[in-house]
Amino acid sequence: MHSPKLGTMLMVEKQIVDTIKKAEYPTRMQLWRSLPKGMEYQTFKQILDYLEASNKIIYGKDNRIVWVATDNPKLRELFDRSVKLR
Residue 48 lies in a domain: yes
Q: Which domain holds residue 58?
A: 6-81
Model pTM score:
0.78
* Integer Cα distance of 33 and 57 in angstroms: 18
Give me the pLDDT at residue 72, please: 66
pLDDT higher than threshold 80 for residue 42? yes
16-40 confidence digits (pLDDT tens): 999 888 888 999 999 999 997 778 8
Residue 86 lies in a domain: no
pLDDT higher than threshold 70 for residue 3? yes
Q: How many structural domains does the chain have?
A: 1
Residue 65 lies in a domain: yes
Residue 71 lies in a domain: yes
The enclosing domain of 38 has a CATH number of 1.10.10.10
The sign of the CA dihedral 25, 64, 42, 51 is: positive
* Integer Cα distance of 69 and 1 in angstroms: 27
Give me the pLDDT at residue 83, please: 85
Residue 1 lies in a domain: no
Closest CA to 66 of 74, 57, 75: 57
Distances (CA, A) of 53 to 47, 50, 85: 10, 5, 25
pLDDT higher than threshold 70 for residue 67? yes
Give me the pLDDT at residue 1, please: 65
Residue 43 lies in a domain: yes
